[in-house]
Amino acid sequence: MNNHLRDLRGERGWSQQELAERLDVSRQSVNAIETGRYDPSLPLAFKIAELFGLAIEQVFTSPSRES
């Protein structure tokens, strides 16, 4: 599942470690989500979206809408 996490993190000037600490997950998790190797659970996806003050679909691209 594609997402805009790297861009959103970049806009705020956060490192992967800083984002991981804000989400209470490991840096590896952030890296895996950013690179599309891991799709987060719904609770974690909500947590990520809420951290950026966005709706889930503004952070993650629906697989059915991916070209």
Partner 1 sequence: MPATPALRRYNKRVLISCAAYGFSLVGGISYFNNHPGAHGPTAYLAAVIPALAIIGVFVAVGRYLVEERDEYLRMLMVRQSLVATAFALSLATLWGFLNSFDLAPRIDSYYVAVVWFAGLGVGSCVNALIERRAR
Q: Which of 21, 27, 46, 52 binds partner 1 (CB under 8 A)?
A: 27
Q: Tell me if 46 contacts partner 1 by CB under 8 A.
A: no
Tokens 């691209």 correspond to 61
Q: Tell me if 35 contacts partner 1 by CB under 8 A.
A: yes
Q: Tell me if 33 contacts partner 1 by CB under 8 A.
A: yes
Taking the alpha carbons at both ends of the chain, their separation in whole angstroms is 11
Cα 24 vs. chain centroid, distance in angstroms? 13
Cα–Cα distance for residue pair 67/65, rounded to 1 Å: 6
Q: Tell me if 2 contacts partner 1 by CB under 8 A.
A: no
Residues near partner 1 (CB under 8 A) are 24-29, 32-33, 35-38, 40-41, 44
